Amino acid sequence: MERAYREDELLDATVIDSEGYIYGRVGKINVDEDEVTLTIYESKPDTRTMVDIDTLKGELLKNVKMPLSAKLQKLSLSEILEVNIKKNLGLKPTESLTNQHYVKYAERLEIPIPHRKTETERKEPKGSMKLQEIKAIGVSVLRTPEKEKVIKVVLLNDPREATFRNIPVQEKVHYRSTNAVKDKLVLDADGVALGFVDSVVFFHGTPGVRVYVHEPRDHVDLKTLYRYLDATGNTQIAKAMKTYFISDTVRRSEIEAFLQEARNRFILPEDIISTWHVKKFVMDVPWSVIHKVGDVMILVLAFSDLRSKGYLLR
């Protein structure tokens, strides 16, 4: 049975046209008496110049003098600066200072105002579409090197973005090199994110693609662990590990299995464990299963069909 979604679950979902090109993101859903429409936006880089308030405060502190009375009161330079600003601007002693107060005070002292650029994103309206233009909605979770990420996808049944970019409709998905498809997001026919393209692979008589996901693995640097064991009086454990492990880095699970087998209750300290993200290959699919290749790759089959045909490696 098809799953239904609330409006808040669809907000910011990535809208992808039938050719695999990203049209934008869902900004709002409007429900009228006769139809439902989705307002789409796209993110644009927005560079702004702002006052670098921390640098400004540092410059102001260079001009602060420490009077004897302040030394007796054990006031810091920052506290003296606040007092000076309030007196100069005619503020009450109990009044809180804002960034604008620091700027105004610096201007009175004719101190140059430092600035910095900030990179943000702004939302620009892209267009709207009717609910009937949606072919599928997929929500899934994929891990990136930074974190687990919820990927919400709305698949359209028309080439809206391709038309916008003047890209011809793909009558046939021609073979591509690894460089042309590497790291593209892979979606099944229902818009569910499956992973990312690792490389082009070769079956008997046809090419295909290998798909990967990021998998976190906790590793232990044995040299660091040995130093820790020697420093904490656990030299016997260190000697046993040196004869058992050959490499300098092993997975946390291997260490814990070794300790369990040796019936040792030593607990690994968290600060010597590091998390690495490795590629885990999850499926190989022949080229005939690829439906479209645009900004993302869309497959012909749904996940359940991919599993039943034996394409999944896990």
In the predicted structure, residue 92 carries a pLDDT above the cut 80: yes
Per-residue confidence (pLDDT) for residue 249, from 0 to 100: 73
- Tell me the average pLDDT across 139-149: 80
- Tell me the average pLDDT across 126-150: 88
At residue 40, what are phi and psi to the nearest 5 degrees? Answer: -110, 140
190-240 per-position pLDDT tens digit: 999 999 999 999 999 999 999 999 877 677 777 887 888 887 877 888 888
β-pairing verdict for 297-299 and 185-187: parallel
Q: Is residue 15 within 8 Å of 28, Cβ to Cβ?
A: no
In the predicted structure, residue 88 carries a pLDDT above the cut 80: yes
In the predicted structure, residue 1 carries a pLDDT above the cut 70: no
Q: Which domains does the chain have, with CATH numbers?
A: 1-44+124-169 (2.30.30.240), 53-113 (no CATH), 174-314 (no CATH)
E strand intervals along the chain: 14-16, 22-31, 36-51, 115-130, 134-143, 148-156, 185-187, 193-202, 207-221, 249-251, 273-286, 290-293, 297-299
Three-class SS of residue 207?
strand
Per-residue confidence (pLDDT) for residue 273, from 0 to 100: 62
Q: Which of 60, 61, 62 is nearest to 113 (CA)?
A: 60
28-69 per-position pLDDT tens digit: 999 998 999 999 999 988 888 999 999 999 999 888 888 777
The set of residues, in sequence order, having a beta carbon less than 8 Å from that of 63 and lying 6+ positions away, is 109, 111
Q: Which pTM value belongs to this model?
A: 0.69
Per-residue confidence (pLDDT) for residue 287, from 0 to 100: 96
In the predicted structure, residue 278 carries a pLDDT above the cut 80: no
CA atoms of 43 and 150, how far apart (whole Å): 18
